[in-house]
């Protein structure tokens, strides 16, 4: 059984447009070493940010990565907490997704999420930490 992970938008988008740890995490997913878990809310946010950046950077065809995401990601229903869990309520969708999927990790570069550290059985870690200590 593959390790289920929720990937914050900044990591997912960085993995598409730049090299480095986020790119290596997406490569691990493409190599079937991890399972990305997402909700419709998360995928919508990915798409919105990527569409904006693809105009700025141009020449990057994002269709293959989105097709792979829609075909290969484990989709869970979107969920909202009664009260915000994260300092930035917009980040709650990542936490809710991780809980719904029983994911052990949220991979993020977002300081609001990283400051939480862990919630229930989910750890919030940086891309570098994930590569060095979990995926190794």
53: which residues sit within 8 A by CB, 6+ positions away? 13, 17
The model carries a pTM of 0.93
Q: How many angstroms separate the CA atoms of 53 and 48, rounded?
A: 9
What is the chain's Cα-based Rg?
14
| pLDDT tens digits, one per residue of 63-97 | 888 888 889 999 999 888 888 888 888 999 999 99
Q: Which domains does the chain have, with CATH numbers?
A: 3-135 (3.40.50.1010)
Rounded-to-integer distance, Cα 59 and Cα 46, Å = 18
Residue pLDDT, tens place only, 7-24? 999 999 999 888 999 999
Task: Name the average pLDDT for the chain.
Answer: 92
Between CA 13 and CA 17 the distance in angstroms is 6
Q: What is the mean pLDDT of residues 48-76?
A: 84
Secondary structure class of 85 (helix, strand, coil): coil
């Amino acid at each position: 059984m593959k390790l289920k992970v929720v990937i914050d938008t900044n990591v997912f988008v960085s993995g598409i447009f730049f090299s480095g740890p986020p790119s290596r995490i997406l490569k691990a997913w493409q190599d079937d070493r991890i399972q990305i878990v997402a909700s419709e809310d998360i995928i919508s946010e990915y798409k919105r940010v990527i569409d904006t950046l693809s105009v700025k950077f141009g020449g990057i065809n994002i269709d293959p990565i989105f097709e792979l995401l829609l075909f290969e990601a484990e989709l869970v229903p979107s969920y909202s907490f009664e009260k915000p869990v994260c300092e930035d309520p917009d980040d709650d969708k990542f936490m809710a997704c991780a809980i719904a999927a029983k994911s052990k990790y949220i991979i993020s570069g977002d300081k609001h999420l990283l400051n939480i550290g862990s919630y229930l059985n989910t750890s919030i870690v940086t891309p570098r930490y994930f590569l060095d200590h979990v995926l190794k």
